[in-house]
Each structure stands twice: as structure tokens, then as C-alpha cells.
Amino acid sequence: MSQPLEATITFSEVSRIVWITGLLPLVVIPAAFTGFWSWPSWTTINSILNSPIEIVLALLAGAFVHEILHGIGFLLGGAPLSSIRFGYIPKAMSAHISCSSMIPIAAFRLTILLPTIVLGVIPTALAFITGSLPLVLWSTLMLSACAGDFAMLAAVKKVPSNAKARVHGDLVGCVYVQP
């Protein structure tokens, strides 16, 4: 194995990616949904917004499941359970999962994308199929919440396909080795 290398991006790159990928779903998906299903009645919107506790609980559950999905991705990538840690970053007011084990970069990238697919893409598709306004709103917020994952994906895009990687401890990106 070679010496460990880093694949990271700067804070300004992270900010740019997070702003773009965080805001884009908030604009595009509701616009497309209302174009497809027409604008919902104010009664429907009020019935959704009159449940603030349910909204907060759904978003907290989504954030928790988001991180659990990363953990599942690490496990599927071959990381032992003992190398996976669940934590909370007070400055970012954000939960996170970290993994100290190296896994194949393809599995690492899938781990990054797992919440986007499971909590964002699939529910959004189901919302468009069924016309469910609550589901499209929730899945849109879940996709927007994946903005940090897209920054991570951008950081690791140039890592060679035969590499093994783990989360970088301090920066957005990874530490990797090549055989």
C-alpha cells in the first residue's frame, strides 16, 4: 500500500456547493410538482402547516435516518461496526456518522449518496406518481439536506477507482490509499 493521500475541498468550495445543491431542490421540485399536479389549495397547505410539531419530528427523524443510512453504507462497504461512530457537531447543529476504517472508494461514494437516493430521489418520485404534497415537501427538504453530501462527493470525485478511503477527520473529503 502507498502512503495515505487526501482528497479535500476548501471551505469556499463547500459553501458554493452547499448553497447551490441546497437551494436547487427547494426551487425546482416544488415548481415541477405544481406544474405536473397544479397548485394545491390553501386548505391543503394550511392543513400541512398547522402541524408544526409533526413537521419538526418528521425533519428530525429524517436527519437521524440520513445519518443511519451513511452508517449502513459503511457497513455494506465492509467497515466493522466498531469503526463507526455517531456524533453531534454543536457549531453546525448537525448529527454525523464517521468511520475510521478504509472501504473501497466505490462503496464510499455509494455511502455518500445513500441518503440522497433513499430519502430524496425515491420519495420524490413516489410523490410525483401519487400527487402527495406532504411527501414532495418532505422529500424536497431531505434532498436539500443532502447538500453537504454533494460537497463530500465533489471532494472525492478524483480519487482513483482502485483506492480505499475513509472520512477525513477535519476537512470535507477523505483520506485514501492505493494498492
Is the pLDDT confidence value at 134 over 80?
yes
Q: Give the rounded distance of the alpha carbon of 91 from its chain centre.
A: 19
pLDDT score for 91: 67
Q: Cell match 419530528: residue?
A: 57
Contact 1, 169 (CB under 8 A): no
pLDDT per residue as tens digits for the range 81-119: 999 998 877 766 677 888 999 999 999 999 999 999 999
pLDDT per residue as tens digits for the range 41-91: 767 777 777 778 888 888 889 999 999 999 999 999 999 999 999 887 776
Nearby residues of 47 by Cβ (< 8 Å), 6 or more positions away:
none
Contact 107, 176 (CB under 8 A): no
Residue 136: which pLDDT band, with cuts at 50, 70 and 90? Answer: very high
Does the pTM of the predicted model rise above 0.95?
A: no
